[in-house]
Chain A
Amino acid sequence: MSSVFKALADPTRRKVLQLLRRGPAGAGELAAHFDVSKPTMSAHFAVLVAADLIEAEKQGRSITYRLKMTVLEEALLGFAGTFGLAVTRKAQDKRAARAPGEKP
């Protein structure tokens, strides 16, 4: 269960899961949505596969990922997205409220 929480803690991985809700997708197609390097995306995919939230299936030279979440894990993803978003906004608001010369 801790691996699931670890996987859901990262916003990039949560976005990957949200993209996979539409249907199975290739690794390249998923990576195109993010401004990170391909090795970093591979590491994110590995964490999600280890948590058994997605399934990778190799067909020829391409890898297809698809969602493999239970209903409760999906509900957890929704909660994590909501609260994660709230935390991010709070941090952004704090940063914006700080004076430019002020030390963090």
Chain B
Amino acid sequence: MNATTSRAWAIGRSAIVAVLLIGAWAAMPLFFPGHTAPEPMLRFLGMLTGLVVVVQANAVPKALGPLAAMRCNPTTEQALRRFAGWALLLGGLGYAVALLFAPLAYANLLSGALMGLAVLLVVARYGYAMAGRARAGATHRFAIPAVRPGSRWPAASATDAPRPRPGPAARPRRPCPAPRTRLPPAAAQRRRPAWCRAGSPRAGIRG
């Protein structure tokens, strides 16, 4: 199963679970017409909804796309996924526990507040990342901090940034080496082969 198929399967599975849950909540008045559903049924369905959120949130950090296809900073993307996973998992757990144990009069309010807080935190964290991108003036979806020395990926903080290396213009230029002096005429004559030395009887005769 390749990445596209597995992603499509995951989306389809989540959609099926969501439809089943919404259907169960919607079908409640049909089964209990005229009066509210019994408390255990409400608590069970609420707990089930919370557990579905827990299961889905648990898998959020594990769903990764290929690095080459990623348009944003992988470090920020990973941090966002981890944060979203933890926040939604705790929110879902709080939702399930509140609907299971809190008095029914307050259970809906409490569970909704917990889940809403988790979603708000995720949105705020995403907004913070987007604001960082705007501050950095990046063209990517997220801000890209400075590159850590020895790493191909950007560092988590700007304190890890390497010192700027002097460019060619700032680098001090070495003094040019002195031009090679020409050999004195006598030495130059000695270095020349016999057949081309001036005044030699063999001048111009090779062999």
A and B assemble together: yes
Q: Is the interface of B mostly helix, strand, loop or mixed?
A: helix
Q: Which interface class (under 10, 10 to 19, 20 to 34, 35 or more) fits B?
A: 20 to 34
Q: Which interface class (under 10, 10 to 19, 20 to 34, 35 or more) fits A?
A: 20 to 34
Nearest CB of chain B from residue A4's CB, rounded to whole Å: 12
Contact partners of B156 in chain A: CB under 8 A: 22-23
Task: Report if A24 contacts B (CB, 8 A).
Answer: yes
The answer to whether B78 and A24 have CB atoms under 8 Å apart is yes
The answer to whether B151 and A26 have CB atoms under 8 Å apart is yes
Contact partners of A72 in chain B: CB under 8 A: 58
Contact partners of A52 in chain B: CB under 8 A: 62
Task: Report if B66 contacts A (CB, 8 A).
Answer: yes
The answer to whether B151 and A70 have CB atoms under 8 Å apart is no
Contact partners of A22 in chain B: CB under 8 A: 75, 156
How far is A2 from B79 in the complex, measured between Cα atoms in Å?
27
The answer to whether B89 and A71 have CB atoms under 8 Å apart is yes
What is the chain A residue whose CB lies nearest that of B57? Answer: A71
Task: Report if B153 contacts A (CB, 8 A).
Answer: yes
Contact partners of B86 in chain A: CB under 8 A: 71
The answer to whether B67 and A70 have CB atoms under 8 Å apart is no
